[in-house]
Structure 1
Amino acid sequence: MNHHITKRPDGKWQVKGEGNQRASVVTDTQREAINLGREISRNQRGELFIHGVDGKIRARDSHGNDPYPPRG
């Protein structure tokens, strides 16, 4: 499952599963949300989308089956 880290209207940050109504985690800082979101994404082998204050995706972190893995 993919998860998104976004800022809430109350100023807190949330980790929310794609398509879910409620947040999985709500934190005071984006950094804390990112750390918890990475842990959730690793456990569920999904992708993490990190949104900036403006709502735009600023980074993504894949923990699932990458269709284009690096060649070595």
Structure 2
Amino acid sequence: MPNNKKPPVHTVPNKAGGWDNKQGGKTISHHRTKARAEDQGRQEAKKDKTEHRIHKRNGQIGQSNSYGNDPYPPKG
């Protein structure tokens, strides 16, 4: 069975200002605010049934949400 899983969506700060959503190394959207970028990134991740990773201003991942088959579901 082929693996058609899409790469995660990353919401990341843009060096020139604002925030970008990237998937598979390509910018899929640009936004003035982090909140708008998060909303759009969440929609893309849900549509593609993949992960949404929200980065902090310093580039570190601050939050990660799964909208597909989570390889590490919570226990209990």
TM-score by length of 1: 0.87
Gaps of 5+ in 2: 1-6
- Structure 1 unmatched ranges of 5 or more: none
Residue type matched to 2:39 in 1?
Answer: N
Alpha-carbon contact 1:13-1:33 (below 8 Å) kept? yes
Equivalent in the alignment of 2:13:
7
Aligned to 1:60: 64
Deviations 1:4-63 (A, max 9, x none): 01111111100000333xx11100000000000000000000101100000000000100
Q: What amino acid does structure 2 have at the position aligned with 1:17?
A: Q
Q: Look up the SS of the partner of 1:43 in the other structure.
A: helix
**Paired residues, what number?**
70
Secondary structure, counterpart of 1:15 in structure 2: strand
**Which amino acid letter does the alignment assign opposite residue 38 of structure 2?**
I
State percent identity of aligned pairs. 33
Letter matched to residue 63 of structure 1? Y
Secondary structure, in 3 states, of the residue corresponding to 2:47? Answer: helix
Alpha-carbon distance between aligned partners in 2 of 1:68 and 1:61, rounded to the nearest angstrom: 12
TM-score of the pair, normalised by structure 2 = 0.83
Structure 2: which amino acid aligns with 1:8? N
Distance in 2 (CA, whole Å) between partners of 1:69 and 1:6 is 25
1:24 match: secondary structure:
strand
